[in-house]
Amino acid sequence: MHRPDPFDAKCPTRQVLDRIGDRWAVLILISLEQRTMRFNELRRRIEAISQKMLSQTLKSLERDGLVNRKVFATVPVTVEYSLTPLGRTLSQTVHALTLWAETHIGEVAQAQQRYDQGEAAPETATTPPR
Amino acid sequence: MHRPDPFDAKCPTRQVLDRIGDRWAVLILISLEQRTMRFNELRRRIEAISQKMLSQTLKSLERDGLVNRKVFATVPVTVEYSLTPLGRTLSQTVHALTLWAETHIGEVAQAQQRYDQGEAAPETATTPPR
DNA sequence: CAGGATCCGAGTCGATACTG
DNA sequence: CAGTATCGACTCGGATCCTG
């Protein structure tokens, strides 16, 4: 077995990372973690998302085996989206990330303020490295 | 205390999520988790990154209080980048994500294959939802 | 060595209109 | 209801050139 190297652009691990990078994908995962939803339900839930991005993102999530798409032949047609078991494991991992965000957002905000103010006071460190 | 809602575009939690979305930021965090590095060291480590993206991403990471920037008045000048304690906690969380990727990348790849082949065989589910 | 400044093409995203 | 198709605005990021 070769160990995956996210620094190699060809590494599939990188592709997964890129998926996480998709903000819409993350929001969809979080939504579906709570319960199965229909297309327009998701649309209302996420609010800012355009219908194009929603259908597009759902499609790629389905392709990755993270989301189930179930069509019911009602009139008009009904489509239910839910997490697959695989998708559930991912959404839990992502949850750890949102937890970090909620916990440390204050520190980040403070750091930003300090940085933005202190632009006039450039620390002149002078000690040589070695 | 209001609880942060990542579905609200104005929520700071969302901003953190967006940072994670940045592939370069993630790669830099991972790199610096291993050890302190200089600018061109990082450049070589990450390979595909352009110098523009590197300096740009480093700057925002520094602003967020995730990365330390230390300048030494040598000739020519030396700059060392390292993780802050805060940055270290984040990189560990991110690590959980890369772990998921390495673990499940196979399942994702299989799902993609199935999806790409089965495009001619659209499952006609007919059972009404409720 | 560590960056800043500029130019510019490719891709992304939203808005809009239409369909089964 | 659950999408697809098209188009244009905008952004991102790479390439290139330059500096202290």
Please write the tens of the pLDDT for every residue from B10-37.
676 777 887 887 889 999 999 999 999 9
Give the pLDDT confidence score for residue A2 in this predicted structure.
47
Nucleic acid strand D: bases within 7 A of protein CB? 1-6, 13-17, 20
Give the pLDDT confidence score for residue B48 in this predicted structure.
86
Q: Does B50 touch chain A (CB under 8 A)?
A: no
Residue B39 has pLDDT above 90, yes or no: yes
Residue A67's pLDDT band (cuts 50, 70, 90): very high
For residue A3, give the DSSP letter: P
**Bond from prior residue into A76 cis (ω within 30 degrees of 0):** yes
Give the pLDDT confidence score for residue B63 in this predicted structure.
95
Mean pLDDT score of chain A, rounded to an integer? 86
Give the pLDDT confidence score for residue B130 in this predicted structure.
57
Give the pLDDT confidence score for residue A15 in this predicted structure.
79
Give the pLDDT confidence score for residue B13 in this predicted structure.
73
Residue of A nearest to B10 (CA): A48
Mean pLDDT score of chain B, rounded to an integer? 87
Residue A23 with chain B: CB contacts under 8 Å:
14, 17-18, 21
CA distance A72 to chain B (A): 5
Residue A48's pLDDT band (cuts 50, 70, 90): confident
Q: Which of A38, A97, A99, A28 is nearest to A64 (CA)?
A: A28
CA distance A52 to chain B (A): 18
How far apart are alpha carbons A124 and A108 in whole angstroms?
23
Residue A125 has pLDDT above 80, yes or no: no
CA distance B16 to chain A (A): 6
Residues 83-122 on B with a CB inside 8 Å of A are 86, 89-90, 93-94, 96-98, 100-102, 104-105, 107-112, 114-116
In CATH, B12-118 is 1.10.10.10: yes
- Packing angle, helices B12-21 and A23-34, rounded to 10: 120
Q: Does A56 touch chain B (CB under 8 A)?
A: no
- Ranges assigned E (strand) in chain B: 37-38, 67-72, 78-83
Query: Using an 8 Å Cβ cutoff, are A33 and B125 in contact?
Result: no
- Packing angle, helices B12-21 and B23-34, rounded to 10: 80
Cβ B79 to strand C below 7 Å: yes
Residue of A nearest to B75 (CA): A128
- The more confidently predicted of residues A16 and B56 is B56
Nucleotide closest in space to A57 (CA vs C1'): C13
Residue B42 has pLDDT above 80, yes or no: yes
Residue A18 has pLDDT above 90, yes or no: no
pLDDT digit string, tens, across residues A31-44: 999 999 999 999 99
Cβ A78 to strand D below 7 Å: yes
Query: Using an 8 Å Cβ cutoff, are B72 and A127 in contact?
Result: yes
| Chain CA centroid to CA B119, Å | 32
Sketch the domain layout of chain B as residue ranges: 12-118
B113 CA, D1 C1': separation in Å? Answer: 29
Residues A49, A22, B101, CA angle at the centre, nearest 5°?
A: 145
